[in-house]
Structure 1
Amino acid sequence: MEIKTKSDHAAILKALKANGKDRDKIEDLMAEYKDIDRNLRDSQVDRIQKDKIVGDKRKIVRGVRLPIPFQHKIVNTATAFEVGAGSTITPETENALSEFVVPLWKKLRLDDKIQQAVSLRKSELQCALLFCFEAPQKSTLYTKLTGANKGKTPKCRVLENKNGNMYPYYDAFGGMKAFTWEFKEIIDDKERSSTWVYTDTKIHKYQENIYLGSEIHGFSKIPIVYTDQDYVEWHVAKKLIDRIEVSLSKLAASNDYAGHPLLLLYGDVDGAPNKDEDGKAFHIRPTRDEEGKVIWGDVKFLVNEQAPEAARLELDKLEKFIYSLTSTPDISFDNIKGLRASGVAIHLMFLDAMIKARMNEGRNRTMIERSLNILKSGITTTTKTSLKYLEQDTTFDVTFKSIIPQDINNTVQTVATAIESGFASKLTGVKMAGLTKDIKEEIELIKKDQESVNND
């Protein structure tokens, strides 16, 4: 998209922001997830468990409201299974450009930023990674001597909904043609609205909707990796979460009335002990009615004779459905303590979560591949222009790591059997074992060890 100084900027900004997500909806999701707000839907506990005014003195009885942040559990677990262990970036063909990209990936901590982006996407529907170069320093004697403006490396930051509004603009084929980031900043001690529009080569800047001009951002493509989804991660279970919070709150309110026994004294009772005393004893004096008949007093506890089995059953069922429908394994300590199972059995226990992670792998892989492409374009456009000829031919293989602990003994036995029977090469076996990052170096070390043993 071409934006010129004399363009109709009001119309341009309106078109660029036409397909953005509903901000009110995002605000509600942020409130539900981050602020534990439960007053957003009619089925939520803050709207059902209301405060009451009772008695002549207009006493306020607070309703019991117990939010259960299942949303955090669902988002955190899904993020961990998808990108929690990071990824391995392997150049398909090593060259001078790949030698720049791989260390830069680690330096920018992109595995951590992608993990943050996935978590935000699952809880707030969208997020973006912004790649940029630091503003060049003013030319001074020091910068001339040291070349401070040369050898710049790209930076990366995470764009979040709490800091501004994001608007991707796509063409008819789904290709991003522009990205708009709208945010507030303090200028001359005043908060002002700023809008930056990213295109292939430039950043077009607006302040209070007034066009300020453009500048080159240093990449050969839009330096934005935008990721989004239509529904939050707990969408299919949100009514169940609302219900379990209401049921637990009602159960807690019931316990406040009948769950803790009340002591009832019948007749003339002496020596009623304090609640903290041991060896409690009561002395009950008899009384007589009008006919002279002796009436003895009594001491009883008022208790709820009927255990809330129905409420307990409902809570258990709701919890199971919430975990099941969102493919979230219940990996609480009580569920895994004393667990003794083979590596295959443990993988089967988490199969549901692994299937979900695999179904989202394409979206996460796209994020990583786009990030790599942007890094390549930044290096060849600004940092090392002499490597421009390698940009198209430099590709990477992306492998996602698993957070599930590996059964080393079982893996080594399987790999050894595969190599000995001729079903796998030693190179493939070392890669399957996953015990080292530099596979070729490991093969050379194995050869040296074998040569040493043979010589001895």
Structure 2
Amino acid sequence: MTLQELNALPESERITQLKKYPAKRPDTQSLIKDWDYTQHDVFDEELRPKRRVLVKEQEENKDGTIKSPAQFRWEDVNRMALPLEQDIVNIHTAFTVGTPPKITANATEASEQELMELLDGIHQKNKLPYDNKRLVRSWFAECEVAEYWYVKPAKEDDPNPTYRLKSMIWSPFRGDTLYPYYDEYGDLIAFSREYNKTDTKGIQSTRLMVVDNQNVTIYSNGAQIEQYPHGFSKIPVIYMKRERPLCDKIRTLRSRLEVLLSNFADCLDYNFYPKMVASGEVVGVRNKGMTSEIIQLENDAQVSYLTWQQSPDMAKLEFDNLTSRCYALTNTPQITFEALQGLGNTLSGKAFKFMFMGTHMAVSNHAETIEEFLQRRINFLLSAIGSLIPKYAPVAKRLQVNIEIVPYMIDSLTERIADAVSAVQGGVASLKEGIILAGITDKVDEELAQIEKEKGKELFN
């Protein structure tokens, strides 16, 4: 269905059509339960009930009747949660966009360079490197996320009011239900966001915000209340989704780990204080409460400590194995003090690259969707600048700007410089390329000119 056909429908039918999700929607409540460790099954008293403890034994009369019934109380059990989903997602987010993505362009003319400066200004003013982390984190954990762009009303002292581009992140954990609408060719022609809004009187209403290539239309409880043009030539929404969360495959392993830890903690609590077993008759205890007590026995009675034959090594082995599998199944490095304390200075920059190879392969797979998202953002921003500042419209159409994810890496400056020197001296790279390989400055042309200048001075000395 085209946008024209969609807008021609009666209001109720149009809303129903817009809210048709193109695929099976992820269960948001289940995803929140995985992400928020306080909602894990180990805290559910139906799945892990409290323990019934005998406080006072039953007393009976001589004739066998009950004099006073037994008394019990309910004691809570240990509930040990592991926020593995948060840890794994945060590590993958850092490796994917912790280093700002690399933006390249074929800007040669002055107008093209000016446009690139405007693009860079939008990134800086909107703090997009931080938004990149929020977006990727939402994509990993919530399965879908959208970025909405709009023109913020200018301040009175703003010399360039049309340049105040702002963005907003929409995602399920933020209370948004997202509805992308595609035409028969798979192109996004409308995007809807459903959310709850409470007015000043405390009355809550359900809003549906529909964005197409021209207008923003807002419905409240099924009735249109507002419509206005957004001022862009493209839909100002960038969207990405995935079928399953990043940590979907470790859910059962993490649940088992939490049960294992909680049961082991209960076992430790129960067996922490030593217990004594007596056979025969115990008459009494002398020096009770003192450091050295004497237990009086009769009739060949014996007293011994109750020993715990079960070894905790099996529990530790299972815990270590399950934890390792959780990180291995998601290609996540265990970056902890315990894991790295024995390495010292033995690992070089190249060795770290091999160590994190699995994670970098995972980042390469993530890039299939994330780079496409970031490229769509770049393309939209170029178009938006052309819409808001008409003189840049033809420049924005011809300028080619690309963006590439740079995986995070622990690097060695010494090795990079050595590699750059070897490449230049070996004749496989120019001096300019060597400066780029060394990566010690962003001002490559100025550094190259300075090196040539210093070489010239050496010739005359």
Aligned to 1:210: 223
* 1:255-270 matches, cutoff 5 A: 255-263=268-276, 266-270=282-286
Tell me which of 432, 435, 459 is aligned to 1:430.
Answer: 435
Aligned-partner Cα distance in 2 for 1:187–1:121: 30
Aligned-partner Cα distance in 1 for 2:104–2:121: 11
Instruction: Tell me by how many angstroms 1:417 deviates.
Output: 0.6
Give the conservation status (yes or no) of the 8 Å contact 1:29–1:123. Answer: yes
Moved more, 94-103 or 118-127: 94-103
Give the conservation status (yes or no) of the 8 Å contact 1:45–1:66. Answer: no
Give the conservation status (yes or no) of the 8 Å contact 1:193–1:208. Answer: yes
Tell me which of 441, 444, 450 is aligned to 1:445.
Answer: 450
**One-letter amino acid of the structure 2 residue matched with residue 158 of structure 1:** I
Give the conservation status (yes or no) of the 8 Å contact 2:7–2:14. Answer: no
Aligned to 1:91: 105
Give the conservation status (yes or no) of the 8 Å contact 1:76–1:119. Answer: yes
Tell me which of 414, 420, 429 is aligned to 1:415.
Answer: 420
Tell me which of 128, 149, 152 is aligned to 1:134.
Answer: 152
Aligned-partner Cα distance in 2 for 1:4–1:167: 14
Aligned-partner Cα distance in 1 for 2:177–2:215: 19
**One-letter amino acid of the structure 2 residue matched with residue 270 of structure 1:** R
Moved more, 59-68 or 232-241: 59-68
Q: Give the secondary structure class of the aligned counterpart of 2:228.
A: strand
Aligned to 1:362: 368
* 2:254 is aligned with 1:250: no
Aligned to 1:346: 352
Give the conservation status (yes or no) of the 8 Å contact 1:44–1:246. Answer: no
Aligned-partner Cα distance in 1 for 2:151–2:301: 90
Tell me which of 169, 181, 188 is aligned to 1:169.
Answer: 181
Give the conservation status (yes or no) of the 8 Å contact 2:191–2:210. Answer: yes
Instruction: Tell me by how many angstroms 1:305 deviates.
Output: 2.6
**One-letter amino acid of the structure 1 residue matched with residue 15 of structure 2:** L
Moved more, 301-310 or 319-328: 301-310
- Structure 1's unaligned 5+ residue stretches are 138-142, 275-279, 290-294
Q: Give the secondary structure class of the aligned counterpart of 1:128.
A: strand
**One-letter amino acid of the structure 2 residue matched with residue 342 of structure 1:** S
- Residues 418-438 of structure 1: CA distance to partner in whole angstroms, max 9, x if unpaired? 111111222322222222233
Aligned-partner Cα distance in 2 for 1:98–1:389: 14
Give the conservation status (yes or no) of the 8 Å contact 1:92–1:397. Answer: no
* 1:110-121 matches, cutoff 5 A: 110-121=128-139
Q: Give the secondary structure class of the aligned counterpart of 1:99.
A: helix
**One-letter amino acid of the structure 1 residue matched with residue 34 of structure 2:** E
Q: 1:317 to 1:34 in 2, by over 3 A?
A: same
* 2:379 is aligned with 1:373: yes
Instruction: Tell me by how many angstroms 1:303 deviates.
Output: 3.2
Instruction: Tell me by how many angstroms 1:117 deviates.
Output: 0.6
Aligned-partner Cα distance in 2 for 1:444–1:311: 64
**One-letter amino acid of the structure 2 residue matched with residue 194 of structure 1:** R
Aligned-partner Cα distance in 1 for 2:296–2:219: 89
Instruction: Tell me by how many angstroms 1:403 deviates.
Output: 2.6
**One-letter amino acid of the structure 2 residue matched with residue 113 of structure 1:** D
* 1:26-105 matches, cutoff 5 A: 26-34=28-36, 36-39=38-41, 48-55=47-54, 56-94=70-108, 95=112, 96-105=114-123
Aligned to 1:201: 214
- Residues 335-393 of structure 1: CA distance to partner in whole angstroms, max 9, x if unpaired? 111422111111111111111011111211112111111211221112x1111111121
**One-letter amino acid of the structure 2 residue matched with residue 403 of structure 1:** Y
Q: 1:188 to 1:330 in 2, by over 3 A?
A: closer
Q: 1:201 to 1:307 in 2, by over 3 A?
A: same
Equivalenced residue count is: 433
- Structure 2's unaligned 5+ residue stretches are 55-69
Q: Give the secondary structure class of the aligned counterpart of 1:2.
A: helix
**One-letter amino acid of the structure 1 residue matched with residue 171 of structure 2:** E
Aligned-partner Cα distance in 2 for 1:36–1:271: 48
Aligned-partner Cα distance in 1 for 2:80–2:261: 7
Q: Give the secondary structure class of the aligned counterpart of 1:53.
A: strand
Aligned to 2:239: 226
Give the conservation status (yes or no) of the 8 Å contact 1:44–1:243. Answer: no
Aligned-partner Cα distance in 1 for 2:370–2:444: 25
Aligned-partner Cα distance in 2 for 1:369–1:420: 37
Give the conservation status (yes or no) of the 8 Å contact 1:45–1:245. Answer: no
Instruction: Tell me by how many angstroms 1:28 deviates.
Output: 2.1
Q: Give the secondary structure class of the aligned counterpart of 2:178.
A: strand
Tell me which of 191, 198, 202 is aligned to 1:179.
Answer: 191
Tell me which of 322, 325, 333 is aligned to 2:326.
Answer: 322
Aligned-partner Cα distance in 2 for 1:5–1:311: 62
**One-letter amino acid of the structure 1 residue matched with residue 405 of structure 2:** F
**One-letter amino acid of the structure 2 residue matched with residue 84 of structure 1:** G
Instruction: Tell me by how many angstroms 1:402 deviates.
Output: 3.7
Aligned-partner Cα distance in 2 for 1:244–1:46: 18
Moved more, 300-309 or 236-245: 300-309
Q: 1:5 to 1:326 in 2, by over 3 A?
A: closer
Cα root mean square deviation, aligned:
2.6
Q: Give the secondary structure class of the aligned counterpart of 1:184.
A: strand
- Residues 46-100 of structure 1: CA distance to partner in whole angstroms, max 9, x if unpaired? 6543224354334113232211111111111111111112223232224132221
Q: 1:30 to 1:69 in 2, by over 3 A?
A: same
Aligned-partner Cα distance in 2 for 1:207–1:452: 74
Moved more, 5-14 or 81-90: 5-14
Q: Which has the higher contact order (CA 8 A, sep 6+)?
A: 1
Percent of counterpart pairs with the same letter? 22
Aligned-partner Cα distance in 1 for 2:37–2:317: 29
Tell me which of 373, 387, 399 is aligned to 1:394.
Answer: 399
Give the conservation status (yes or no) of the 8 Å contact 1:178–1:197. Answer: yes
Q: 1:337 to 1:193 in 2, by over 3 A?
A: same
Instruction: Tell me by how many angstroms 1:2 deviates.
Output: 3.5
Q: Give the secondary structure class of the aligned counterpart of 2:386.
A: helix
Aligned-partner Cα distance in 2 for 1:285–1:5: 95
**One-letter amino acid of the structure 1 residue matched with residue 122 of structure 2:** L
